[in-house]
Chain A
Amino acid sequence: MSQIQSRGEPFLYQGDTGTGVLLIHGWTSAPQDMVDLGKHLAGQGHSVLGVRLPGHATRPADLNRIRWRDWMATVEDGYSLLDSTCENVVVMGLSLGGALALLLAASRPVAGVVAMATPYEVPPRPDILWLRYLLPALRPISAILRTFPKPPINDYKDQQAYRDHVSYSVFPVRSITEVVKLLQLLREQLPLLRVPVLLMHAVEDRGVSPENARSIYSQVGSDEKELIWIENSGHTITLEPARRQVYELAANFIEQVREKTR
């Protein structure tokens, strides 16, 4: 019996350009978020590692036991695995993975960060502002209400990508407080960042509103920072019709970063 669900597995592709790319998926989601982006970048000759965050792609109850430290540790693992065979490491993440990617830049000498559809705070969109008032009570609530059915928000432009998406069908309630803590840490660290940062966000993202990208952009301390708006996509920009554009932008960013380190 396997612990990890089918298509929830991490992936590692070996390249020969000397650049390693660490890919981090989103909350309640799986490495599958990033696998096509990974294949595209591996096709350019880079080494690519897509990690599975602890508590993900197994059972939703597992995620309730996981703290933000465990996610961070797994991202650090991924960095070490790439760093041992590559000259430089670029880190990329989607949604919560984007927050982890930015935070990794605060503790490891990464060459650059691509943060996609990344939240700046919880709640990440105006229609659930009421969640703000619930946050202090979330831990006691989570003792009784362990998981919560995902609201039927489907902002996908590509409905096949929506059907194929590997993710939990519920929100583990206790885990929300870990996302809150992680984003708090992110807001503290953003002004200290000095590495090149590329932000991508869908104009029509209904999971994490575009306002989050504006806030991150204004707070990032790096001189080299760019925010690119993605059309024809919902929240999961790596899987949507705009994905080819996203892959190209990610690949171009790597080339820019490599130029600099040369």
Chain B
Amino acid sequence: MSTIMTGGEPFFYPAGGEVGCLLSHGFTGAPEEMRSMGEYLATQGITTLGVRLFGHATQPADMNRARKQDWLASVEDGYHMLANQVSKIVMVGLSTGGALSMIMARDFPVSGVAVMSTPPRFPDERVRQLRPLVPLISKVWRFAAQNGESDWRDKEAEQANVHYPVFPVRATAELNDLLDEMRDTLDQVTVPALLIYSKGDGTIPPDSGQAMYDGLGSTDKELLWLTESGHNIPMDASRQQAFEATSTFIHRIAA
């Protein structure tokens, strides 16, 4: 009897130093997406904690009850646990986890923020236009198929990826609102920022990276483009490059 699916557990790798990194996974994903990165950063002397976002890695129906404040609260929980260990915290997130990281960087005294594949708005135009109706629609249409062509370069990693096989429809409205809030207040984020995006991302529009870069209030900001990766940067073929860039960034701003 377990509520969390196998591979859905959060992780904590203490490294003993003064710098910590809080890792947040993506929409319908699981902490597993961030685990390899967390392990790598821990070998570089950075204490890492990977949270499980509310409603994730249990069953898809749980996610339809989630509101954006629940996801933010999950990340805040991780922040407070990590703050008991280290004096400097850098936020790192994939996609939705990146949006949560940005909002944390706006509201909490973090040292920096690194996001991967975070879109400035909900990628599917239908959700944006029908946003007010989504709660009603989701009463009858609870789950949407996750179809569309795979953008993974590393097919083995794709097989190992822990995630829901469907999109919980009600939750898409919350993600839409979360991304709106993030984008509208992006200029209030002023800490050093690293943005990592893939040329081959099949999930978000190709101008996402530049739009995020332009909107950020930070003066110390860097946009890194990967060529051998799909949307899931910390698991796909270019992951090592992303790990090293993130480690270099954290050491530069927080060491």
Q: Which residues of A contact B (CB under 8 A)?
A: 1-4, 9-14, 49, 51-52, 54, 58, 62, 65-67, 69-70, 72-73, 76-77, 80-81, 84-85, 106-108
Contact = CB atoms under 8 A, between A and B. Distances in A.
Contacts of A2: 76, 107-108
Contacts of A10: 77, 80-81
Given A3-B73, A58-B73, A72 B81 contact: no
18 contacts: A1-B107, A3-B69, A9-B80, A10-B77, A11-B80, A11-B81, A11-B84, A12-B80, A14-B14, A14-B85, A51-B77, A70-B62, A76-B3, A77-B4, A80-B10, A81-B11, A81-B81, A108-B2
Nearest to A54: B54
Contacts of B77: 4, 9-10, 51-52
A211 to B, nearest CB: 27
A137 to B, nearest CB: 22
B222 interface: no
B84 A13 contact: yes
- Which of B62, B80, B85 is packed against the most chain A CB atoms within 10 Å? B80
Given A14-B85, A77-B52, A81-B12, A69 B70 contact: no
Contacts of A80: 4, 9-11
Contacts of A52: 73, 77
Interface residues of B, number: 32
Nearest to A42: B84
Contacts of B13: 84
A3 B78 CA distance: 13
Contact of B2 (A1, A66, A107): A107
Contacts of B59: 69
B255 interface: no
Nearest to B77: A10
A54 B52 contact: no
- Which of A10, A13, A108 is packed against the most chain B CB atoms within 10 Å? A10
A12 B2 CA distance: 23
B3 A72 contact: yes
B67 interface: yes
A49 to B, nearest CB: 7
B9 A76 contact: yes
Contacts of A58: 69, 73
B10 A73 contact: no
B5 to A, nearest CB: 10
Contacts of A77: 4, 9-10, 52
Contacts of A106: 1
- Which of B4, B9, B49 is packed against the most chain A CB atoms within 10 Å? B4
B199 interface: no
A31 to B, nearest CB: 9
Contacts of A3: 69, 72-73, 76
B65 interface: yes
B70 A62 contact: yes
B28 interface: no
B246 interface: no
